[in-house]
């Protein structure tokens, strides 16, 4: 028995006036996703509890079968795990974005998709600025995605569950002042963010990027190491995840999954969809369960690009869902499920709460009457996972 999950990140959305009232799922040409619907069932799942901020850290944890209300401690610890960074019981990890702020507004939460070499140079400046501290340690990541660690030396830290920060991708084109960190330890975070402004202005390669230059850091997603029961212990399958995003890699590592790096996978609109599809098929030779995650649909929403979101859905359909489903059918017993982790609205350019459409087919899943996979069809279904973390046990049993 082989299992596969395809995640079009943030693909769930509202009806779009520019699409004649259709959602991106409805407007996109996705015959392979529709084939999954015809062969099986369509329903909906709510992966983000209303009391928690919407994001892939919460949504994917739920999608993988772990109740975020019990297990979620923050986004940054998951990304630390992706980099192989061990956190002590009292250490805290904090996401460190390189962002562009203009006239007090969040112009770009990616600093124009800043090149990794330029970003690494800025992270070096940040670390040099803290060379006298035994607590703060910056780690360079990919592009704008970096990490800051607070290493506790005495069993204490300035942060707590009451420390609050805002993801920068949730405040595109908005004033940043109302969204600065608050609560315990926030003064230290604000000070580091403020100090970064002059440091970044002094970096020649960064300044040469003009209006796309990173103007400062944005610190958010703080948390301590979570304790997750290994996936194989719960479900008895050997698993692997294919993604270009550290967050997914981190959750995978904490669950005991293998991580596959795919050349050309960028975590952006230009990712190599076909390479991801081929890798998904190849990994099933020695794994029971493969997860293929694509970030492009989420990125398109954050940028408000409806046509790019449709293109990303169509490429996921053609290069990942189609070939993967064909392979699964050819090799014997299987199950395949499609599900975003959360909605990301083109209108607001932010993550949202609410149900996402799911489609599943394979052995033991009796077909319903659905003929298409989209938000509207899912909304009419009687198959509902009010707690999204219940989807994975249903799928794997």
Residue 265 sits in a domain of what CATH number? 3.40.720.10
180 with 281, same domain? Answer: no
56 with 104, same domain? Answer: no
319 with 298, same domain? Answer: yes
133 with 182, same domain? Answer: yes
Surface-to-core class of residue 301, CB atoms within 10 Å of its CB (0-12 exposed, 13-18 middle, 19+ buried) = buried
Number of domains in the chain: 2
Q: Report d(CA 67, CA 387) in Å as an integer.
A: 8
Predicted confidence at residue 148, as pLDDT, reads: 97
370 with 240, same domain? Answer: yes
Q: Report d(CA 253, CA 251) in Å as an integer.
A: 5
**Whose CA is closest to 350, among 309, 304, 302, 307?**
302
246 with 372, same domain? Answer: yes
140 with 51, same domain? Answer: no
53 with 119, same domain? Answer: no
Three-state SS letters, 376-388: HHHHCCCCEECCH
Predicted confidence at residue 246, as pLDDT, reads: 86
**207, 223, 239: which is the final residue of a domain?**
223
Q: For residue 56, what is the DSSP state?
A: H
Surface-to-core class of residue 270, CB atoms within 10 Å of its CB (0-12 exposed, 13-18 middle, 19+ buried) = exposed
Predicted confidence at residue 109, as pLDDT, reads: 96
88 with 211, same domain? Answer: yes
CA angle (300 as vertex; 296, 301 as ends), nearest 5: 120
346 with 359, same domain? Answer: yes
Cβ-contact 16, 23 below 8 angstroms: yes
**For residue 236, what are the domain limits?**
2-72+227-396
CA atoms 370, 376, 381, 386: torsion sign: positive
Q: What is the DSSP string of 256-290?
A: T-EEE--TT--SSTT--HHHHHHHHHHHTTS-SEE
Predicted confidence at residue 321, as pLDDT, reads: 98
Residue found by looking up tokens 């592009």 in the block: 143
278 with 358, same domain? Answer: yes
pLDDT tens, residue order, the chain (397 aa) = 999 999 999 999 999 999 999 999 999 999 999 999 999 999 999 999 999 989 999 999 999 999 999 999 999 999 999 888 999 999 999 999 999 999 999 999 999 999 999 999 999 999 999 988 999 999 998 899 999 999 998 889 999 989 999 999 989 999 999 999 999 999 999 999 999 999 999 999 999 999 999 999 999 999 999 999 999 999 999 999 999 998 899 999 999 999 999 999 999 999 999 999 999 999 999 999 999 999 999 999 999 999 999 999 999 999 999 999 999 999 999 999 999 999 999 999 999 999 999 999 999 999 999 999 999 999 999 999 999 999 999 999 8
Q: Report d(CA 37, CA 358) in Å as an integer.
A: 9
Q: pTM of the predicted model, to two decimals?
A: 0.85
**223, 243, 273: which is the final residue of a domain?**
223
Cβ-contact 85, 147 below 8 angstroms: yes
**180, 207, 223: which is the final residue of a domain?**
223
Residue 19 inside a domain? The answer is yes
Q: For residue 47, what is the DSSP state?
A: -
Q: For residue 184, what is the DSSP state?
A: T
Residue 77 inside a domain? The answer is no
246 with 384, same domain? Answer: yes
CA atoms 50, 385, 44, 31: torsion sign: positive
Residue 50: how many other CB atoms lie within 10 Å: 8
Residue 162 inside a domain? The answer is yes
List all residues 6 or more positions away from 148 whose beta carbon is below 8 Å from its beta carbon: 76, 93, 94, 95, 96, 126, 136, 137, 138, 139, 192, 219
Could you tell me how many residues make up the chain? 397
């Amino acid at each position: 028995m082989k299992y596969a999950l395809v995640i079009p990140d943030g693909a769930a959305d509202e009806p779009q006036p520019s699409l004649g009232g259709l959602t991106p799922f409805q407007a996109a040409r996705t015959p392979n996703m529709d084939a999954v619907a015809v062969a099986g069932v369509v329903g909906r799942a709510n992966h983000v509890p209303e009391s928690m901020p919407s994001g892939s850290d919460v949504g994917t944890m739920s999608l993988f079968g772990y109740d975020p209300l019990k297990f979620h401690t923050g986004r940054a610890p998951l990304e630390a795990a992706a980099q192989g960074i061990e956190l002590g019981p009292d250490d805290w990890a904090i996401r460190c974005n390189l962002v562009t702020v203009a006239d007090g507004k969040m112009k770009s939460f990616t600093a124009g998709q800043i090149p990794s070499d330029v970003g690494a140079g800025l992270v070096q400046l940040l670390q040099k600025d803290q060379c006298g501290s035994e607590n703060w340690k910056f780690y360079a990541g990919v592009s704008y995605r970096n990490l800051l660690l607070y290493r506790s030396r005495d069993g204490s830290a300035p942060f707590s569950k009451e420390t609050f920060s805002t993801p920068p991708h949730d405040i595109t084109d908005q004033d940043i002042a109302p969204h600065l960190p608050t609560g315990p330890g926030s003064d230290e975070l604000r000070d580091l963010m403020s100090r970064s402004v002059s440091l970044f202005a002094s970096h020649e390669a960064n300044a040469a990027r003009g209006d796309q230059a990173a103007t400062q850091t944005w610190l958010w997603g703080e948390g301590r190491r979570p304790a997750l029961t290994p996936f194989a212990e719960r479900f008895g399958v050997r698993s692997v995840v294919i993604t270009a995003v550290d967050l997914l890699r981190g959750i995978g590592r904490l669950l005991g999954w293998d991580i596959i790096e795919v050349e050309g996978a960028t975590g952006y609109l230009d990712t190599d969809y076909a390479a991801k599809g081929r890798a998904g098929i190849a990994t099933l030779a020695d794994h029971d369960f493969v997860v293929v995650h694509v970030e492009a649909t989420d990125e398109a929403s954050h940028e408000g690009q409806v046509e790019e979101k449709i293109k990303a859905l169509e490429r996921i359909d053609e290069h990942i869902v189609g070939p993967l489903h064909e392979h699964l059918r050819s090799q014997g017993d299987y199950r395949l499920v499609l599900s975003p982790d959360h909605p990301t609205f083109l209108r607001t350019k932010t993550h949202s709460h609410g149900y996402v459409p799911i489609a599943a087919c394979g052995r033991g899943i009796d077909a319903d009457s659905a003929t298409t996979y989209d938000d509207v069809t899912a909304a009419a279904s009687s198959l509902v996972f009010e707690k999204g973390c219940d989807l994975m046990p249903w799928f794997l049993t």
